[in-house]
């Protein structure tokens, strides 16, 4: 019983030792953690790629192990100066999200490791950014087609680096700045353009105002002319009706009509402040001199011989 316990303890110790050695890639066991992948080499030739867990390896010096990350990696590229199709200079700062998709192909492409791969990715991203942005204007890059441009850059970089065992999921532009001298010229050009648009809009507004005023004046003249025409027609109709009524009244009783017209003339021409110097025999006082003090009608008297 004691011998069995000792034997079991030896086995456990050996296993633990192999496990510890495997974590250091020294023993026959290879321990692959989450987020990494390892290439098992035999005589410096890649044999297999491990996944998280335990794997067997060739003992040294026949075999060796290379470890690479399997997670997504972030690479922030250095700012670069790019010229747009309208001649503007832009300082573009971008980044890339990538990972090692084919570890064996990656080792063949970059024997020195991840650092060399990052330099290659940085160069590819710069070339693609310069190529894509160089075919668009400043306004399209900054505002109108920004998302479309980043998608095109990602597709180009992904295609260019696929043969190196690298997978690119996204290339994004952090920011786009204008150089100092270019910034001043852009501001000056923007100011000139805004002034031109302001003058154009102002002139168009003045033209519309003149047209509206002309139409309003024309409509006013037409309305006034129609109103004057209708007034003249109404006035003529009224005058004709008044003339007809006067004619009927005069024809019915000429003396009474003459009397009423004289009274109306007296009322309009004589008041408390009126002074008239006329002959008593004037036709104007014909009805006054023939009236009686008590208001009775005048009596005709024969003339004195």
pLDDT in tens, 96-109: 999 998 888 898 89
Query: Within a domain: residue 234?
Result: no
What is the band of 21 on the pLDDT scale with cuts at 50, 70, 90?
A: very low
d(CA 195, CA 249): 79
Evaluate whether residue 140 is within a structural domain: yes
Residue 201 in domain: no
Residue 230 lies in a domain: no
In this structure, are 64 and 113 located in the same domain? no
Answer whether residue 191 is part of any domain.
no
Residues 161 and 119 in one domain: yes
The answer on 79 and 152 residing in a single domain is yes
Residue 278, domain extent: 254-289
Percentage of residues in the chain with pLDDT exceeding 90?
24
Residue 271 zone, left/alpha/beta (φ > 0; ψ -120 to 50; rest): beta
Cis peptide preceding 261, ω within 30 of 0: no
What mean pLDDT, rounded, does the chain reach?
77
Which of 181-185, 250-254, 296-300 is predicted with the least confidence, judged by mean pLDDT? 296-300
User: Is residue 48 situated within a structural domain?
Assistant: yes
**How many structural domains does the chain have?**
3
Is the same domain home to 33 and 118? no
Q: What are phi and psi of 208, to 5 degrees?
A: -65, -40
Q: How confident is the model at residue 1 (pLDDT cuts 50, 70, 90)?
A: low
Whether residues 105 and 28 share a domain: the answer is: no
Smallest Cα–Cα separation from 64: which of 28, 106, 32, 90?
28
DSSP code at position 52: S
Q: Is residue 55 domain-shared with residue 82, that is, in the same domain?
A: no
Of 70-74, 117-121, 220-224, 287-291, the one with minimum mean pLDDT is 287-291
Q: Please identify, among 127, 156, 178, the residue that sits at the C-terminal boundary of a domain.
A: 178
In a domain, residue 83? The reply is: yes
Q: Are residues 51 and 91 in the same domain?
A: no
At 70, list the tokens.
């399997």
Neighbours of 26 (CB within 10 A): 15
H helix or E strand, kind and range, residue 222 = helix 180-252
Residues 65 and 77 in one domain: no
Q: What is the pLDDT of residues 221-250, one digit of tens each?
A: 999 999 999 999 999 999 888 888 877 777
Q: Do residue 61 and residue 105 come from a single domain? A: no
pLDDT for position 5: 62
Residue 42, strand partner residues: 45, 63
Residue 108: give its domain's CATH number.
3.30.479.30
CB 32 within 8 A of CB 50: yes
> Of 178, 212, 229, which residue is a domain's last?
178
| Torsion, CA 150, CA 156, CA 158, CA 164, rounded to 10 | -140
Backbone dihedral region of 45: left (phi > 0), alpha (psi from -120 to 50 degrees) or beta?
beta
In a domain, 98, yes or no: yes
With CA atoms as reference, report the closest residue to 101 among 52, 169, 40: 169
Instruction: Note whether 17 and 59 are same-domain residues.
Output: yes
Q: Which of 46, 41, 45, 44 shows the shortest CA–CA distance to 58?
A: 41
DSSP 141-192: IIIITHHHHHHHHHHHHHHHHGGGTEEEEEEEEEEEE--HHHHHHHHHHHHH
Same domain membership, residue 168 and residue 138: yes
Q: pLDDT tens digits, residue range 179-214?
A: 666 667 767 878 888 899 999 999 999 999 999 999
Of 148, 163, 178, the domain-final residue: 178
In this structure, what token pair is assigned to residue 94? 């971008």
Nearest residue to 136 via CA among 124, 146, 127: 146
**Which residue(s) pair with 99 in the sheet?**
167
- Kindly state whether residues 58 and 107 are assigned to the same domain: no
């Amino acid at each position: 019983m004691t011998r069995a316990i000792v034997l079991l303890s030896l086995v456990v110790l050996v296993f633990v030792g192999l496990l510890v050695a495997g974590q250091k890639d020294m023993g026959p066991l290879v321990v692959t953690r989450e987020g990494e992948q390892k290439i098992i080499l035999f005589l410096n030739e890649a044999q297999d790629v491990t996944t998280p867990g335990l794997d067997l390896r060739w003992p040294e010096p026949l075999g060796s192990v290379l470890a690479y990350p399997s997670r997504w990696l972030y690479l922030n590229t250095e700012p670069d100066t790019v010229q747009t199709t309208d001649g503007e200079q832009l300082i573009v700062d971008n980044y890339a999200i990538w990972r090692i998709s084919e570890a064996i192909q990656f080792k063949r492409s970059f024997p020195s490791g991840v650092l060399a791969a990052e330099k290659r990715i940085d160069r590819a991203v710069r070339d693609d950014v310069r190529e894509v942005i160089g075919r668009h204007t400043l306004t399209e890059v900054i505002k109108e087609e920004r998302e479309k441009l980043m998608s095109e850059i990602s597709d180009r970089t992904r295609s260019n680096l696929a043969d190196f065992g690298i997978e690119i999921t996204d290339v994004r532009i952090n920011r786009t700045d204008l150089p100092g001298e270019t910034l001043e010229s852009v501001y000056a050009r923007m100011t000139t353009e805004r002034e031109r648009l302001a003058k154009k809009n102002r002139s168009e507004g003045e033209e519309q105002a003149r047209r509206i005023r002309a139409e309003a004046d024309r409509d006013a003249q037409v309305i006034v002319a129609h109103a004057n025409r209708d007034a003249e027609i109404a006035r003529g109709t009224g005058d004709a009706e008044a003339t007809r009524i006067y004619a009927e009244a005069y024809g019915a009783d000429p003396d009474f009509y003459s009397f009423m017209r004289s009274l109306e003339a007296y009322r309009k021409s004589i008041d408390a402040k009126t002074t008239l110097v006329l002959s008593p025999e004037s036709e104007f006082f014909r009805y006054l001199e023939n009236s009686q003090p008590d208001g009775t009608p005048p009596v005709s008297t024969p003339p004195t011989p």
